Amino acid sequence: MAVPPAVAIRALTAPSPDLQGLVLGPLAGGAGLDRLVRSPHLQKTGLALAGFHEYLRAGRILILGESEVQFLASRSASERLAIAERLATADLPAIVVTAGLTPAAELLAACERTGLPVLGTETPTGTAMARLNARLDLLLAERVLMHGVLVDLLGLGVLILGESGIGKSECALELVSRGHRLVADDVVELRRRAESFVEGTGPEATRFFMEVRGLGLIDVQAIYGVSAVCPTKTVGLVVQLERWDRGHDHERLGLDDHWHDVAGVRVPLVRMPVGPGRSVATLVEVAARNELLKAQGYHGARALADRLDAARPGEPR
């Protein structure tokens, strides 16, 4: 289930480790803090203040640094008022004023009237833009909710999928008891970052809780400690649990690579049949170790196939 990426400006005023110390406080337009921003790209264009309106991009946060604030201060009162009205009525989610600067009173008054949030920070312009852009990039990343379990196995994020009741949570619980870490159970929130990887986490309200049939809901962090959980992890392997079917030709050699689409990113896939006498947790752990070896350039199945080819009768041994 895809969730359209959007975030309220109010979320940027809340403390977050992603902001790396960047503090944004409202200077005006507090009534508009629920305005939504849908683009992670910022704009800092003095040309728009000088009358070149086409350089003002709708839907993007506008940054006012020292040059923009000084430009406004140097204009006449009537010019400042005209520029302020133009900005206050533009399709902007917010204006951010950096380096502890105080913008023109006309701009603050106009934005207060139209409900356009003006946020201030003491952080220098370049640093503020970098940290704010990183925060928006995270918040506005493509987000998908999936039914499954995400665990951290030896540094590899393994997303375990399968039909309800097949044993995903029990498998994850056994892995946690072996020293691995739980990221999310039941609902996994996946965010696409850049073009090549997806990060997974659990919904904040139910994070690190697990439903185990016969036990009910358990708090994994409270039972096993903080070392047994991980807040977020990049997905590096998908394990699809399937009912054992004697009539189905399950993978025997492992020579071919398979892939699963996760939020538009191809992730290695292993289909794991579940049946009596099979330790699913052990098999998932081995699948993770095998994938780590592949990432280092060693493909065990292909190495054996090459060895057998080289040892055929009539060929040098």
pLDDT single digits (tens) 197-209: 899 999 988 999 9
Q: Which CATH number fits domain 143-305: 3.40.50.300, 3.90.79.10, 3.40.640.10, 3.40.50.450?
A: 3.40.50.300
Average pLDDT on 83-101 reads 92
pLDDT single digits (tens) 95-149: 999 999 999 999 999 999 999 999 999 999 999 999 998 888 888 877 889 999 9
pTM for the structure as a whole: 0.69
| Residues catalogued as catalytic | 147, 168, 186, 252
Q: State in Å, rounded, how far the first CA of the chain is from the last one.
A: 54
159 or 314, which is more confident: 159
Is the per-residue pLDDT at 1 higher than 60?
no
Task: Please tell me the predicted confidence (pLDDT) of residue 103.
Answer: 92
Average pLDDT on 260-268 reads 91
pLDDT single digits (tens) 50-75: 666 667 888 899 999 999 899 888 99
Residues in a beta bridge with 169? none
So what CATH class is 2-139?
alpha beta
Residues in a beta bridge with 234? 199
What token pair was written down for 79?
A: 């010019």
Region for residue 225 given its phi and psi (left: phi exceeds 0; alpha: psi -120 to 50; beta: otherwise): left
Query: With 0-12 CB in 10 A as exposed, 13-18 as middle and 19+ as buried, what is 284?
Result: buried
Domain positions in the chain are 2-139, 143-305
Is the per-residue pLDDT at 317 higher than 90?
no
Task: Please tell me the predicted confidence (pLDDT) of residue 283.
Answer: 93
Instruction: Give the other-Cβ count within 10 Å of 229's Cβ.
Output: 21
Pairing of strands 95-97, 62-64: parallel
Q: Which of 135, 148, 240, 280 is nearest to 201 (CA)?
A: 148
Task: Please tell me the predicted confidence (pLDDT) of residue 201.
Answer: 93
Report the share of the chain in percent with pLDDT over 90: 57
Query: With 0-12 CB in 10 A as exposed, 13-18 as middle and 19+ as buried, what is 212?
Result: middle
pLDDT single digits (tens) 220-241: 999 999 999 999 999 999 999 9
Task: Please tell me the predicted confidence (pLDDT) of residue 302.
Answer: 86
pLDDT single digits (tens) 163-175: 988 999 999 999 9
